[in-house]
């Protein structure tokens, strides 16, 4: 039998039994669409989370902390030693002070972080509005969204606002009995240049804002390494020196493992719907076999081989699986669009930012369609084998 004839006979049921075949394909599409929707949700949430907490620089950074108060402090000399460690590209010291911010006679406490602009990329902090300050900027600060909210400012209206900044710090004072520490404060009018995400009232500035105040010790240091390959080696060096070291790459690796488990669970839920669809497809192919028993007898009696009959059923079932896969992808994508559209409207009404919580990689789409075609192929094996093994004479007498 010619290939064209096999294909023509295989697709005849799509015309003669259009409703039944269409409902079978729809059932498969719903199962595949469920898988596409759920797994795309897993991919999307993973991308949203990692995009918010990581940048290329942050994945190459280490957070260095003193092991305990007063033990192995991070001083200027310690920072210089860190810079000389092999494969270290840069070291950003971070000093933290208490302070207050005043705007229109409203005053609130705030944590003050004194650091260089490179800190933001190493900490995965991108401005929600405005522009980050420069290295020698002595008049601009960056505030968190929480601090802006306290003054009832939006992320946009906060930018370019002039505020009064007060920083509290300690200074040693010589006395007759020896040196003691006393509290002092410095005050200056500054301008908010940008707003960054943050759940605490905090602000960031360069050392140039208060150039006369030099930290004796830093709260921590961020170290950027040359490449991902040397990250573990550099970390081991600092750990051996006695520092406490954290790496964002470890958090990302753990998050990826969690999301991999979540995606497997979501696939299992989707497979439950697909199994029901596959049973429906198997039922359709079995009915097709019973309805076409006499037809199979005629085909065999005029020269069709067992292989030809077997191929008819396999092509028919695989084609239904393929169309079900394509339809499932469309259903999944349409469902994603509807859900995202609703979430965007909700986010805008609540003053938030719209985000896409779904991601459907091309390789995943191709895998789903191939998998669906494979399921269809498998459901056609038994009916096809039964049809190919029919005795032509018994098939002709079947009613």
Q: Torsion over CA of 193, 195, 201 and 205, rounded to 10 degrees?
A: -40
Angle between helices 248-291 and 362-379 (to 10 degrees): 30
Residue 397 has pLDDT above 80, yes or no: no
Which helix (H) or strand (E) segment holds residue 353: the answer is none
Q: Let me know whether 33 and 153 are in one domain.
A: no
In a domain, 341, yes or no: yes
According to DSSP, residue 128 is labeled S
Question: Is residue 33 domain-shared with residue 83, that is, in the same domain?
Answer: no
Same domain flag for 238 and 114: yes
Maximum distance among all Cα pairs of the chain, rounded to whole angstroms: 121
CA dihedral 132, 137, 138, 144 (to 10 degrees): 10
Distance CA 287, CA 285 (A): 5
Tell me the pLDDT band of 9, cut-offs 50, 70 and 90: low
Comparing 395 with 364, the larger pLDDT belongs to 364
Q: Are residues 300 and 162 in the same domain?
A: no
Q: Is 126 inside any structural domain? A: yes
101: in domain: yes
Q: Which residues contact residue 390 at a Cβ distance below 8 angstroms, ignoring those fewer than 6 apart?
A: 293, 296, 297, 300, 309
Range of the domain at 46: 3-53+254-397
- Of 211, 242, 273, the one marking the end of a domain is 242
The Cα–Cα gap between 103 and 338 comes to: 43
pLDDT of residue 50: 67
The tokens for 216 are 């004796």
Based on the domain organization, do 204 and 293 belong to the same domain? no
Residue, of 15 and 318, whose pLDDT is higher: 318
Distance separating alpha carbons of residues 335 and 275, to the nearest angstrom: 21
Does 218 share its domain with 346?
A: no
**Inside any domain, residue 42:** yes
In terms of domains, do 227 and 136 share one? Answer: yes
Residue that finishes a domain, picked among 197, 222, 242: 242
Residue 103: predicted pLDDT: 92
- The pLDDT of residue 10 is 60
Dist CA 215 CA 73 (whole Å):
12
Number of neighbours of residue 108 by Cβ within 10 angstroms: 13
**In-domain check, residue 62:** no
Q: How far apart are the first and last CA of the chain?
A: 26
- Note the helical H segments in the chain: 3-10, 13-16, 18-53, 76-83, 118-122, 145-150, 231-241, 248-291, 293-301, 306-349, 362-379, 381-388, 392-397
Per-residue pLDDT, averaged over 96-123, amounts to 91
Euclidean distance between CA atoms 271 and 269, whole angstroms = 5
Whether residue 299 sits in one domain with residue 160 = no
What is residue 185's three-state secondary structure? strand
Residue 326 pLDDT class (50, 70, 90 cuts): very high
* 59 within a domain of the structure (yes/no): no
Q: Please check whether residues 225 and 274 belong to one and the same domain.
A: no
pLDDT of residue 179: 61
For the residues 292-309, what does the mean pLDDT come to?
Answer: 73
pLDDT (average), residues 234-252: 83
Number of alpha carbons in the 13 Å side-chain half-sphere of residue 107: 7
Q: Let me know if residue 158 belongs to a domain.
A: yes
pLDDT tens digits along 273-298? 777 777 877 777 777 767 777 777 77
Q: Give yes or no: residues 237 and 131 share one domain.
A: yes
Q: What are the residues facing 185 on neighbouring strands? A: 168
CA 167 from centroid of its chain's CA atoms: 38
Both 154 and 294 in a single domain?
A: no
User: Once rounded to an integer, what is the mean pLDDT over residues 37-49?
Assistant: 82
The rounded distance, in Å, linking the Cα atoms of 285 and 119 is 63
How many domains, in total, are found in the chain? 2
Give the torsion through C-alpha atoms of 374, 380, 381, 382, to 10 deg. 140
* Token code pair at residue 169: 């710090």
Residues 77 and 45 in one domain: no
The reported pTM is: 0.60
User: Region 85-90: what's the mean pLDDT?
Assistant: 89
Q: Tell me the pLDDT band of 253, cut-offs 50, 70 and 90.
A: confident
Where among 242, 264, 282 does a domain terminate? 242
For the chain, what percent of residues have pLDDT higher than 70? 87
């Amino acid at each position: 039998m010619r290939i064209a004839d096999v294909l023509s006979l295989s697709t005849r049921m799509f015309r003669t039994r259009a409703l039944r075949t269409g409902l079978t394909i729809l059932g498969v599409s719903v199962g595949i669409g469920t898988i596409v929707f759920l797994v795309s949700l897993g991919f999307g949430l993973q991308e949203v989370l990692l995009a918010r907490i990581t940048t290329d620089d942050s994945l190459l950074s280490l957070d260095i902390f003193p092991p305990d108060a007063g033990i192995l402090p991070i001083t200027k000399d310690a920072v210089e030693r860190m810079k000389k460690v092999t494969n270290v590209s840069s070291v950003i010291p971070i000093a933290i002070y208490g302070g207050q911010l005043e705007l229109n006679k409203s005053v609130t406490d705030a944590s003050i972080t004194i650091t260089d602009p490179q800190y933001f990329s190493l900490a995965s902090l991108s401005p929600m509005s405005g522009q980050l300050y420069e290295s020698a900027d002595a008049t601009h600060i960056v505030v968190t969204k929480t601090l802006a909210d306290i003054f009832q400012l939006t992320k946009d209206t906060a930018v370019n606002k002039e505020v009064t900044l007060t920083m509290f710090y300690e200074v040693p004072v010589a006395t007759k009995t020896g040196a003691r520490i006393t509290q002092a404060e410095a005050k200056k009018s500054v301008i908010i240049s940008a707003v960054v995400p943050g759940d605490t009232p905090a602000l960031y500035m360069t050392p140039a804002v208060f150039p006369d105040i030099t930290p004796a010790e830093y709260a921590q240091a961020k170290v950027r390494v040359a490449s991902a390959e040397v990250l573990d080696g550099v970390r081991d060096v600092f750990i051996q020196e006695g520092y406490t070291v954290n790496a964002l790459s470890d958090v990302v690796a753990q998050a990826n493992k969690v999301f991999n488990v979540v995606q497997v669970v979501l696939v299992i839920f989707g497979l439950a719907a697909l199994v029901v669809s596959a049973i429906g497809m198997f039922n359709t192919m079995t009915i097709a076999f019973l309805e076409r028993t006499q037809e199979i007898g005629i085909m065999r009696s005029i020269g069709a081989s067992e292989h030809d009959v077997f191929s008819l059923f396999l092509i028919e079932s695989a084609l239904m699986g393929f169309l079900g896969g394509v339809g499932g992808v469309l259903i999944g994508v349409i469902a994603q669009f509807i859900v995202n559209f609703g979430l965007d409207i909700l986010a805008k009404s609540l003053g938030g930012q719209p985000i896409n919580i779904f991601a459907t990689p091309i390789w995943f789409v191709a895998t789903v369609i191939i998998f669906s075609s494979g399921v269809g192929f498998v459901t056609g094996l038994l009916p096809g084998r039964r049809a190919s093994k029919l005795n032509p004479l018994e098939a002709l007498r079947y009613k």
